[in-house]
Amino acid sequence: MRINTRRKKWAAVAIVTLVSVIASVIVTVIVVGALDPQALRPAIIMPLLVAPLVTHWGADRLLEIDRLNQQLAHLNRIDQMTQLYNRACLMEKLEQEPEEGGMILIADIDHFKQINDTYGHDVGDLVIIEVARVLQRSSLPEGIAARFGGEEFVIYVPRLDL
């Protein structure tokens, strides 16, 4: 079971606790050789005390891992400066598109090095971010905008031709 919600976390705690109690009772019956109430009491109480605490702790770790994996997947697909898809994600999305045609626009900021050299990299970053915003708005609602390289961008709009 993948633990990625609080409900699944608590379900895991309940399941592991129940299985722990059952296993403890079975082992106790095998060792003692009978259903002795004196021997069964600790066989039930100990897993009820230990299993929920340990499972809750472990399930919390799994929830955190799932959240971090989702964050990592997002970071792996999105260009951090522009918040557009990155090149690898664009290529993956283009491979998934049905072969019904579409339009691809490739844009490059001409003489971008001069902007960085004249006004500095902070201003150059602002220019890239603003160009990305314009391209993102231009690709909506069903298009895909991506940062392809340093100052190179691609827009894909399905089912659109010249």
Element (H, E) at 144: strand 144-147
> Over the range 73-94, which residues count as b (16 or more CB within 10 Å of their CB) and which as e?
eeeeebbeebebbbeebbeeee
- Of 92, 97, 130, 151, which one is the catalytic site residue? 151
Give the strand pairing for 102-108 and 144-147: unpaired
Known catalytic residue: 151? yes
Rounded CA Rg of the chain: 28
Active-site residues, by number, are: 151
